[in-house]
Amino acid sequence: MIDSSETTPDRIGHYRIVRLLGRGGMGVVYEAIDEVLHRAVALKTILPSSDPHMRDRLMREARAAAAVSHPNICQLYEIGEHEGDPSLAMELLDGQSLADRLEKGPIPPAEAVSIEIAVLSALQALHNRAIVHRDLKPSNVFLSAHGVKLLDFGLARPVSLTVDDTALTMPGLLLGTPRYMAPEQARGADVDARTDLFAAGSLLFEMLSGRPAFQGASPIEALHAVLHEHPPALVGPLAVVDADRAIQRAMMKAPAERYQSAEDMLRDLRTCLSRGDLSGGVVARATTRLIVLPFRILRPEPSIDYLAFSLPDAITVSLAGLESLVVRSSLAAARFTADQLDLRTVASEAAVDAIVTGTLLEAGGLVRVSVQLVEVPSGTVLWSHAFQTPMRDMFQIQETVCTAVVEALALPLSSREQRMLRRDVPSSSEAYGHYLRANRLIDSSAQWMQARDAYQQAVEADPSYAPAWARFGRCLRVMSKYSTGPEGLEWRVQAEDAFQRAFRINPDLSVAHNLYTYLEVESGRASEAVTRLLGRIRGRTSDPELYAGLVHACRYVGLLDASVAAFQRARRLDPSMRTSIAHSFYMLGEFERAIEHDGDDPPYLTAIALFATGRGDEAASVCRKAQGRQHANSHLVLVLDAVTALVEQRPDQGREALARLLSFPAFSDPEGLFYWAHTFAAIGDLDRAIELLDRAVDLGFHCANGFVVSPSFDVLRTDGRFKTLLARAREHQARALEAFTDAGGHDLLGLERAAR
């Protein structure tokens, strides 16, 4: 029996001990000489266990591992015994563990991906023999002069357990390393090959970023992170983004959503390695995830109430253009408005690493503003400052806070980003006040006219303030779309002009590019929007709203796989990001997923999808509940009336509601026309259904698959007019695919060349 507290023995069996290599919780490893075969080995002796089944379990698992021969697996030469305890003679390696290498910092992407490929090759060999490693971590990967070696099969076991195998698992004992466990392993559930792939994804993340995917001061905190949190996205060249996609898929919480085999993950990483942009001084960076919470008003004061949301929103807009920072949207931040916030809860629910909080107090004509930047979940205050300023100088707070965030988080800024931060601050306090007030007013359709006037005042006071022009453009677009009078056409022209003014002032303004997408697609220029957004993403891979725009634009031109891929990247960067992906799932015929992702109010898509799956009663119930939440004069009431008529088979009411909607002179959203055609088809007015679908295609909705999968159009399948317009949609879609390919869309979104 060998005790870890004893001195190094001279011999163990026919092995002459040279030196102690290391001690661990389960054994001691020596360098030794096999005096029978005259070769150097690593000799591991297993320490005694209080559990009488431990040695039997380890012996059985060691034999299973010994059955696998692979160049990336440390070879097991012999299983023996010494004084009644097991001993393992293994290949002696010269080099360092991956854990030791990571102490020096992140690994260059080309090297990291190569190491990961070797690890996956070893796992594939194990999995082919139905063996799961269960303890993949940096200390169990060895970087030797002869390549990468996978070590330590102390927890490996066959996937299929017999009754006897199960009896050897100790109840209540968590086997594995918490930080690298898959969720099912952490819960004590069944494990399989996908469990190892989760750990492999965690390993690659750590190699590229230099930090663990899941952090925690204790094993319990690490396990909580594994179960409930998501590691940040990685940014860098396209190959780094490709690697990040592989990491994301490998580390999905549900095993069914991960890679199903090591070979699948290997295939993607080999493609990633084949790119030409991983050489030289390329680095990968883990994005810092930030949320700017609504500021708290310490004493109610109508004159400053709007600042509680508007000032944080302005800070969010300024910071959103930085490549190494992902800023949660103001919409996501608005959920956290309680007086007493649990920052750990915010960190978990919003999936962020840092939080900006603040308070506001009006006193004697001055505004006292206290702002903090807090690292979470630790709660460490990285920066704090108190201001006392007149309203006219409020814009200086935005500039100071943004600069402090960049410095406190040590964000690497390009010269372009440094210029951008300075450029997006107004030169006029009057303009800033109008801008902040307008941003609050725009949230309510009843106040759109007031918001328009406030934006107008902002750009008149400071014509060089690009964010105000961008938000002004968005306000005019929304008003134009839902205008019931001829002024809507003029507002659309003004919206285009406002966006172009923003671009001329700051061609890199992220918020302008994001908001402009919707005007483009509603003006029949969805393909141009796709090309523009792809160009932006090539230089800025970490902006979730650019991907959200692609979700929308790609669907209009029928590139549904691209739309879904853009959604996945947007959610990787910001799990709270709202997109129109529900409509893309509908166009794919995945009606249940459309219902799951529908976040609109009213949820008219949910009603249509329920109707499509034969659940008319549920659809009617959804419509009736939503109708009570809408403003009496809102166009949304008409939309609900039309959908309700569809699901309840009331043709007269459906025609009346649609007639009013179609009377809006400036309404030009072709996807809306596509949906409204459902009602006409369902009530038997086939000519009007064809008319609306024809207009939808003319105005730029070319999602051919949507025409094919919608059950409401089954009555039109044999109609020659329907076949003709479907052929036209497919022609436009084919041209859009060519433009998408020319713009590098497949590479940017990680798609195969045959996109739908």
Q: How far apart are CA 671 and CA 678, in angstroms?
A: 11
DSSP label at residue 599: -
Q: SS3 helix, strand, coil % of the chain, rounded to 5?
A: 55, 15, 35
Q: How far apart are CA 609 and CA 127, in angstroms?
A: 41
Task: Decide: 258 and 198 in contact? Cβ < 8 Å.
Answer: yes
Q: How far apart are CA 562 and CA 748, in angstroms?
A: 10
Residue 618: what are its φ and ψ, rounded to 5°? -65, -40
Tokens representing residue 193 in the block? 């090959």
Sequence-ordered list of residues with C-beta below 8 angstroms from that of 129, at least 6 positions apart, any chain:
64, 67, 68
User: DSSP of 21-54, one letter per residue?
Assistant: EEE-SSEEEEEEEETTTTEEEEEEEEPP-SSTTH
Tokens representing residue 211 in the block? 């930090």
Task: Decide: 311 and 398 in contact? Cβ < 8 Å.
Answer: yes
For residue 502, the one-letter residue type is: A
Strand partners for 354: 290, 375
The single residue listed with the structure tokens 């969720």 is 183
Cα 419 to the chain's mean position, in Å? 28
Parallel, antiparallel, or unpaired for β 288-292 and 157-158?
A: unpaired
Q: How far apart are CA 148 and CA 138, in angstroms?
A: 12
Conformation bin of residue 490: beta by default, left when phi > 0, alpha when psi is -120 to 50: alpha
Alpha helices (H) in 383-428, listed in sequence order: 395-408, 415-423
DSSP label at residue 282: -
- The closest alpha carbon to 706, from 569, 554, 571, 597, belongs to 554
Task: Decide: 424 and 467 in contact? Cβ < 8 Å.
Answer: yes
Instruction: Determine the Cα angle at 365 with ends 363 and 366, to 5°.
Output: 65
At 457, which helix (H) or strand (E)? Answer: helix 448-461
User: DSSP of 648-706, one letter per residue?
Assistant: HT-HHHHHHHHHHHHT-TT---HHHHHHHHHHHHHTT-HHHHHHHHHHHHHTT---HHH
Q: How far apart are CA 608 and CA 623, in angstroms?
A: 10
Conformation bin of residue 375: beta by default, left when phi > 0, alpha when psi is -120 to 50: beta
User: DSSP of 44-91, one letter per residue?
Assistant: EEEPP-SSTTHHHHHHHHHHHHHT---TTBPPEEEEEEETTEEEEEEE
Which position among 3, 10, 56, 135 bears the catalytic label? 135
Tokens representing residue 53 in the block? 């089944």
DSSP label at residue 150: E
Query: What's the full length of the chain, in residues?
Result: 756
Is 135 an annotated catalytic residue?
A: yes
Residue 136: what are its φ and ψ, rounded to 5°? -75, 125
Q: How far apart are CA 573 and CA 248, in angstroms?
A: 10
C-alpha torsion 200→205→211→213, nearest 10: -70
C-alpha torsion 335→340→343→344, nearest 10: -100
Give the catalytic positions in this structure. Answer: 135
